[in-house]
Structures are given as structure tokens and as C-alpha cells.
Chains A and B, each alone.
Chain A
Amino acid sequence: MLDMLAWTVPLAPLVGCLICTILAFRGDRDWAHWPAVMALGLSAVCTLALVFTRSDESGITVIHGYTWIDIGSLRLDIALRLDSLCLTLLTVVTVVSCLVAIYSRDYMRGDPGYARFFAVFSGFVFCMAMLVMANNLLLLYAFWEGVGTCSYLLIGYYYQRPSAARAAVKAFLVNRIADCGFLLGILLLSYAIGQTTVGAGTSIVGRLDFGTIFDASQELFNKYPDLVGWIALLLVVGAIGKSAQFPLHVWLPDAMEGPTPVSALIHAATMVTAGVYLIARMSPLMEYAPNVLIVLAWLGAITSIAAAIMAMFQYDLKRVLAYSTASQLGYLFMALGCVAIPDMMTIAVMAAMFHLFTHAFFKALLFLSAGNVMHAMGDVIDMRFFSGLRKILPKTNILFGIGAAALAGLPPLAAFFSKDTILSLLADASKDTDYGGHFTGLLIVGFITAFLTAIYTSKTYFHTFWGKQVTPPEAGHHPHEATTIMLIPMYCLAVGAIVSGIALGPTGRILDYIATTPGMDALHGEHHEATWVLIASTLIAVAGVGIGFRLSTVSTSHSKQTSSEVGFAIAEFGRNRLYIDTIYQTLIVAPAEWFAKWLGWFDETVVDGLTQLVGQIPGLIGLMLKRMQTGMVSSYAMVTACGIAALALWIATQ
């Protein structure tokens, strides 16, 4: 029973993907959502069933699928691993994807690639589910790549638009860079485990089963402490690319070229959380590389601050949300950095997963609301061209408001609790003897980011929905509210955004749940939320909202953005994404393109030239031999006589 449920979760979307692919080839535009929605609904139901049937079980369940390769020392089993960590993320993935699929039935209606959208959508969910449930690190990597591919296909959904195509390629390439590091880490890990006693007899791939990794990690640390650090660093590189942290964050804003449901699902709730999931999953190994975790935490912190600054100055609504995603993911990594401190591993992982859970809900809600706005405004998403939409989009107004409040961290909405968990975790960690200084700094960064988050979130909300009503000419005469089918998923997400925080956090449910994951250390003692953190974050959130309101009304009442020169320069800096993209372009992309062009020239001229030269050799030989065909009898006779003379000479000398 359990394995049937478990296998339905990834395989139902796969079947949906295949059916939608067939429908895509037939050019279907009406029915393609049915296979996808039904499959995703089924997998969501199965996930919830799994959660409830296993609620009293602790430990893991490994469910074998089938053996794909079994050649000598190479054996690849496809097996699922169910534990509470996995099921947490799986719930997020399946439920949110089901809701977004229902939403996109109306959003994508009329588009010529309707079926293609749902096909890749379901394929993505299949890959993500398998990624989450994989028992083997290499299998996880395979579906990691699959998720990247589906993301590429979905970002480049409007492939005829050059900016979309470029954005898709950019996302894929940046992910690829990270994946190279990830793969190196996997290979190193496989090699290292082979050297330990635990993994001595296992096959090269079988070594990478999570159970084996966790069993071997202590011994690995004793034998090769430096190697563990390198492996952890490489895994972190992979996580950074997928989760859009500095310095590999450049693809996430451009990924907004895809349709809004894609942004909602992939770039808010699921794919970008894969990196977090990886680190959380590997935390029994990562706890032996504390320096790497500190580096990771700082990278997350840098991303948080930088993304928050950039979000303040963007015109594009979706890009604001993209940067806020990056910023919140930075929070997650800051939380995971606490794994470095012994005794805090379980709580760190719990905090990260909690925030991930709540973030998925309200971020998806925000994105879908942005989709509503875009639909109503005739595909215009530049905030300079509209404002004051509360009369046109009343329901979206409320929903966006809920999501924005959640994001800002206003109590009693979801993110208040999850963000607070992280901040109090950091506060606890700053008391540690070894790395306390780091965590103090991280805590300060966390507060600043929370402040900035509140500012830009409220600024965006008030600008979009309050103030004078301005609609762009593309909106037509009567911009309308979203349809019911689009609103129902948003209601569900709003419920999740409101409730999930209270339900899971303070009650300690999620803590206990995650703690049952094997590999996590047992809880030592009780965990108290520091009260001063609660108060401080509330104050910060309220202050940020106020300032944001002020900035937004200021920006609507006054035509120019900021008055001071410095402010203007900072705004430009932020709007141009801190020029990081420009730096990358000049330092990395342009030389690479030049090199590629040179290689192309080399291939065409030198290699092809050589090949053609070789190809012309028979011609040249023919030219030379052609001279023998003079057609003159005397020449022929001469040649014959030469041959006879040579032959005679040779025979005579034998």
C-alpha cells in the first residue's frame, strides 16, 4: 500500500506529461489541462495520504523500484526514500503544483502551446518529486538536471521572443556551472566513501545511497577531514546555482520571462528550494564541514541584502517578487548555516524547512496575484504604467495584501513565525564559542533584510493597488478581475499562507516532525524562542510597512523617484542589479563568446580545411597520375620499357 502511494506521487505526473505531449503534437488547446491537473491532484492526494499514514512512524522507508543497471561493479537501483524531511517538501511541491495547474488552465487559455505547457509542467513535477524522494545522491543529481531542463523549457516557453530564449539559456547555463561543481562533489564523495570501511564492498553508485553516506560520514571525517570540506564546498556550489544565491543568482530575475504560473511554481516554491533541500538532506555529512556552512550562510546573507536592495528599485512587478524569492532563500541558507554548530543541526534544518514551507505558499500567492494583474493590464507588468487597481481587482487586492503581509512578516501571518524561528536560531547560534561572531553578523543582516523586505513589499503593494488609478493603454476599456477558476487556487494558497505559520511553528509540530528524520541528532533540551527577537522583528516589520507606504505615496504624488543625488545613484545601481550582470558579461560571457567564435573559426578553417585538404589528396594524386595519360603511344611504350628494364634489373640482381 505504502509503495503504491509512494510511486503514484512521481509517476502520475509522468503519465500526465506523456499524455500532454501527445496532445501537444496534435495541437490541442482545450483538453490538455485535464491530464495534468488530474495527475497532479492525484499525486497531491497521495502525498497527503503518505503523510498521514506515516505520521506515527519514524525512521525511513526505502521503497525499491527497479534495478536499472547491474553490470559488474556498477549497480544503479531506483529506489524511493521516504522520511519526514522528504515528505515536508513533497507536500509543498505537489499541493502548490496542483493549485498552480488549476490556475494556469485559465491563465494559459488560448495560447497555441497550451498542451506543451502542461506537458512540461507535469514533467517538471515528476522530476521534482523524484528528486525529493530519491534514495541515491546520483539519482537526485539526475533529476536535478531534469528539473533544470524543465525549467529551461518553461522559461523559454515563449520561445519566439528573443529575450525569453536568452533568459532560458542563461538559466540553464548558470545552473550548469553549478551542476559541474555538484557532480565533482558527488564523484569525490563516491571515491571517498569507497575508501572507508562502510563503503568498502559497495558498488560505485550504490555507495551514494543516503543511508550509506550517513553511515560513512563520521568515519569519513576522521579519515579525510579536508576532503569532507571540499566535498561539502562542491555540494554547496551546486545548491547555490539551483537556489539562485550570490554569485549565481543572475538567472532568477531573467527567468521571469516565462509565464507567471511557471514563476509561481518553479521560481518561488519548488525548484529553487531544491538547493536548500540538498543541503538539508546532506546535513549529517555537512555538519562535519562547519567552515563551508559558514561560507554558505554568508553567501545567503549577501544574497539576502543584495536582492532586497535590488528589489527596492525595480519597475517590473515580477522581478520584485523574484528578488524577494532570492532574498528569502538567503534566509534559508543562513538557517542552514547553523548546522555548523553541534547540537543545533535538527533545529536548523527544521527552521529552514519551516520557512521553506510557508514561503512557498505566500510566494506562490504573490506570483499568482501578479499574474492576475498582468492579465488585467494586458500583459503589462511594468509598475510605472499602472497603479491604484483596487477597484478593478478587488479580490486580487485582498489576496496580494495577504501575501505581502505574510512576506513582510506581520504577525500572525505565516512568515512571521518562520522568519522568527530563523532569527531566534541565529540569535542562539551567536552565543556559540567558535562561530558566534559569524552568527551575530548574520543576525544583523537578517534584521536589515527583514526591514528592507517590509519596505519594498509594502511599497509595491500600495503602489499597485492604492492611490490614483492608472491603467496602461494595453489594458483595453474594461480590465477585469480574474476568473473563478483562477481565484480558487489562490484562496487555498491564502489559507495556507495564513494558517500554516501558526499551525506548525509555535505548536512545535514541525519541529517534532522533522526531528524524526533519521540522521538528525536527537534534540537536546527544549528550544525557546527568544522573546526579544519576536518583538524586534514585529517592530521592524511595522516600521518597514510604514516607510514603504510613505515611499509609495510619495512616488505617486511626486513624479520623480528620489530627490537627492546619492539616492538617485543608489537607485540606478539597484535597478541595474548592482552591475553584477554587467561584470559577468564582460569578464566571463564575452571572453567565452569570443573563444567560442574563435573555436568556430578554427573548426571551419583549420579542421575543415585539413579535412578538405586530405580530401583533395586523391584529386592531386589524380592530377599527377593524369600526366601519365598522355595518349601518346611512344610515351606508353617508354613507360612499358622502363618497367621491363626495372624488372629485368631486379631479377638479374637476385
Chain B
Amino acid sequence: MTQATTHLVYFGSLIFTLGMVGFLTRRSLILMFLSLELMLAGVSINLVAFSKQHHNYQGQVMAIMILTVAACEAAIALALIVSLSRRKSTLDVQAWSELNEVPMRSAELPMTMKDQTMHFPKLTTAGLEPSVSPASVELGYENWDALSQDSEKPTEKTQHA
């Protein structure tokens, strides 16, 4: 490798490493995404360096493809980030840890997500048939009380009768 190529490779690797460190350390979704872009930039610099060394355009074409992909990725990723942040009303990536086995160390890194009221399913009291199957009530746990009360009413009526 020529010395020029060497320098360029170091430079590209430096940019890539900076991007990677940023991806690992950042907690905001957007900044993580930006670090991704930085990594891609570093890679394209490397490719151009090698293209220069080999005196052909293969590297440059690859760099252009990377650019294209980066653009697509930017579009979709940011759309997703918007919708994700709407769900949890925060840009913190650590809000999305529902696939965990261990509770988060929330003391060290404070969370900003709002406390969500947990909806526990309300079970019918023993001995009574649920009148409506739960599958037809889509996540409408708030109506469960009404449903169970409906099923209790006939027995009350018979008692009165």
C-alpha cells in the first residue's frame, strides 16, 4: 500500500471509530442514528482510498451505493424514530427494554418515560361464566368491569324473582 492510501485508511478508520463510539455511548435515538451515518461515511472514505490505490472506479461506485443506501436508511429510520418516540413519548433508547430478563439499573441512568397505568385483566368471580370471550374485546380492558357486571345481573334478577 502506498503511503497515501495508508493515511487515508487511517483517516477513514478514525471517522468510523468515532461513529462507533458515538453509537455505543449515546442514548438518544437520533444521535445514535447520526453515529451510524458517521460510520458509513468513514467506510466510504476507506473505499475511495482503495479505489485511488487500484486506479479504478470500483471503490467510488461502492461509495456512491453506500450513499444511496444511507439516504434510504435515513428516511425510513427517522420515520420509525418518530413513531417510536410517539409510543413512549421519549427519544431514549433504553425505554425500549421490554425483552429484558433483568430489571434495569434505573438508579444509575434515570429514565424519563412517564409511568404508564398498567391494565390488569379483570377476572370474573369464581363460579360465573364470562359472558363475552376476551378475544372479541380488543385490548379494551377498561370494559371488563362492565362485562362482568353484566354477567352478574341475571343471577341477581333470579334471586329477586
- A50 CB to nearest chain B CB (Å): 80
**Quick check: A629 and B104 within 8 Å, CB to CB?**
no
Binary contact readout B9-41 vs A (1 if CB under 8 angstroms, 0 otherwise)? 000000000001001111100001000000000
A161 close to chain B: CB less than 8 A: no
Instruction: Give bound CA distance, A629 to B93, whole Å.
Output: 15
**Quick check: A631 and B24 within 8 Å, CB to CB?**
no
Enumerate A603-637 residues with CB–CB distance to B below 8 Å. Answer: 626-627, 629-634, 637
**Quick check: A626 and B23 within 8 Å, CB to CB?**
no
**Quick check: A630 and B24 within 8 Å, CB to CB?**
no
Instruction: Give bound CA distance, A386 to B102, whole Å.
Output: 82
**Quick check: B100 and A634 within 8 Å, CB to CB?**
no
B117 close to chain A: CB less than 8 A: no
**Quick check: B101 and A634 within 8 Å, CB to CB?**
no
Binary contact readout B99-118 vs A (1 if CB under 8 angstroms, 0 otherwise)? 11110100000000000000
Q: Choose from A627, A629, A641 the contact partner of B24 (Cβ within 8 Å).
A: A641
Q: Choose from A630, A637, A638 the contact partner of B102 (Cβ within 8 Å).
A: A630
Binary contact readout A153-166 vs B (1 if CB under 8 angstroms, 0 otherwise)? 00000000000000
- Chain B residues whose C-beta falls within 8 Å of the C-beta of A633 in the assembled complex: 32, 93-94, 96
- Chain A residues whose C-beta falls within 8 Å of the C-beta of B138 in the assembled complex: none
- Chain B residues whose C-beta falls within 8 Å of the C-beta of A626 in the assembled complex: 101-102
* Secondary structure type dominating chain A contacts: helix
- Chain A residues whose C-beta falls within 8 Å of the C-beta of B94 in the assembled complex: 632-634
**Quick check: A629 and B23 within 8 Å, CB to CB?**
no
B156 close to chain A: CB less than 8 A: no
**Quick check: B93 and A627 within 8 Å, CB to CB?**
no
- Chain B residues whose C-beta falls within 8 Å of the C-beta of A637 in the assembled complex: 23-24
| Contact A630:B100 (CB < 8 A) given known A637-B24, A641-B24 | yes
Closest residue of chain B to A642 (Cβ to Cβ) is B24
Instruction: Give bound CA distance, A439 to B22, whole Å.
Output: 108
Instruction: Give bound CA distance, A627 to B26, whole Å.
Output: 21
- Chain B residues whose C-beta falls within 8 Å of the C-beta of A629 in the assembled complex: 99-102
* Secondary structure type dominating chain B contacts: loop
**Quick check: B101 and A627 within 8 Å, CB to CB?**
yes
- A223 CB to nearest chain B CB (Å): 76
Binary contact readout A404-418 vs B (1 if CB under 8 angstroms, 0 otherwise)? 000000000000000
Q: Choose from B24, B98, B99, B102 the contact partner of A634 (Cβ within 8 Å).
A: B24
**Quick check: B104 and A630 within 8 Å, CB to CB?**
yes
| B25, B96, B97: residue with the most chain A Cβ atoms closer than 10 Å | B97
- A521 CB to nearest chain B CB (Å): 88
Residue pairs across A and B with CB atoms within 8 Å: the count is: 42
Closest residue of chain B to A645 (Cβ to Cβ) is B20
- Chain A residues whose C-beta falls within 8 Å of the C-beta of B25 in the assembled complex: 634
- Chain A residues whose C-beta falls within 8 Å of the C-beta of B98 in the assembled complex: 631
Instruction: Give the size category of B's interface with A.
Output: 10 to 19
- Chain A residues whose C-beta falls within 8 Å of the C-beta of B32 in the assembled complex: 633-634
Instruction: Give bound CA distance, A185 to B93, whole Å.
Output: 82
**Quick check: A632 and B24 within 8 Å, CB to CB?**
no
Instruction: Give bound CA distance, A459 to B77, whole Å.
Output: 112
**Quick check: A632 and B97 within 8 Å, CB to CB?**
yes
Q: Choose from A631, A638, A641 the contact partner of B100 (Cβ within 8 Å).
A: A631
Binary contact readout B56-97 vs A (1 if CB under 8 angstroms, 0 otherwise)? 000000000000000000000000000000000000011011
**Quick check: A634 and B27 within 8 Å, CB to CB?**
yes
- Chain B residues whose C-beta falls within 8 Å of the C-beta of A641 in the assembled complex: 20, 24
**Quick check: A631 and B96 within 8 Å, CB to CB?**
yes
- B19 CB to nearest chain A CB (Å): 11
| A634, A638, A641: residue with the most chain B Cβ atoms closer than 10 Å | A634
Closest residue of chain A to B97 (Cβ to Cβ) is A631
Enumerate B32-57 residues with CB–CB distance to A below 8 Å. Answer: 32
**Quick check: B100 and A632 within 8 Å, CB to CB?**
yes
Instruction: Give bound CA distance, A610 to B16, whole Å.
Output: 51
Closest residue of chain A to B94 (Cβ to Cβ) is A632
Instruction: Give bound CA distance, A629 to B101, whole Å.
Output: 6
Instruction: Give bound CA distance, A634 to B96, whole Å.
Output: 10
Closest residue of chain B to A641 (Cβ to Cβ) is B24
| Contact A627:B20 (CB < 8 A) given known A632-B93, A632-B94, A634-B94 | no
- Chain A residues whose C-beta falls within 8 Å of the C-beta of B101 in the assembled complex: 626-627, 629-631
Closest residue of chain B to A630 (Cβ to Cβ) is B100
Closest residue of chain A to B100 (Cβ to Cβ) is A631
Instruction: Give bound CA distance, A412 to B79, whole Å.
Output: 123
- A384 CB to nearest chain B CB (Å): 65
**Quick check: B104 and A632 within 8 Å, CB to CB?**
yes
- B66 CB to nearest chain A CB (Å): 19
Instruction: Give bound CA distance, A638 to B93, whole Å.
Output: 13
- B88 CB to nearest chain A CB (Å): 13
Closest residue of chain B to A638 (Cβ to Cβ) is B24
Instruction: Give bound CA distance, A652 to B97, whole Å.
Output: 35
**Quick check: A634 and B93 within 8 Å, CB to CB?**
yes
Instruction: Give bound CA distance, A418 to B96, whole Å.
Output: 102
Closest residue of chain A to B27 (Cβ to Cβ) is A634
Instruction: Give bound CA distance, A453 to B8, whole Å.
Output: 120
Instruction: Give bound CA distance, A626 to B101, whole Å.
Output: 6
Closest residue of chain B to A626 (Cβ to Cβ) is B101
Q: Report the 5 A-B pairs with minimum CB-CB distance, sorted nearest first.
A: A631-B100, A631-B97, A626-B101, A629-B101, A631-B99
25 CB < 8 A contacts A-B:
A626-B101, A626-B102, A627-B102, A629-B101, A629-B102, A630-B97, A630-B102, A630-B104, A631-B96, A631-B97, A631-B99, A631-B104, A632-B93, A632-B94, A632-B96, A632-B97, A633-B32, A633-B93, A633-B94, A634-B24, A634-B27, A634-B32, A634-B93, A634-B94, A641-B24
B residues near A, CB below 8 A?
20, 23-27, 32, 93-94, 96-102, 104
Query: What would 18 more interface pairs be, CB under 8 Å, given A629-B102, A634-B32, A641-B24?
Result: A626-B102, A627-B101, A629-B100, A629-B101, A630-B102, A630-B104, A631-B100, A632-B93, A632-B94, A632-B96, A633-B94, A633-B96, A634-B26, A634-B27, A634-B94, A637-B23, A637-B24, A638-B24
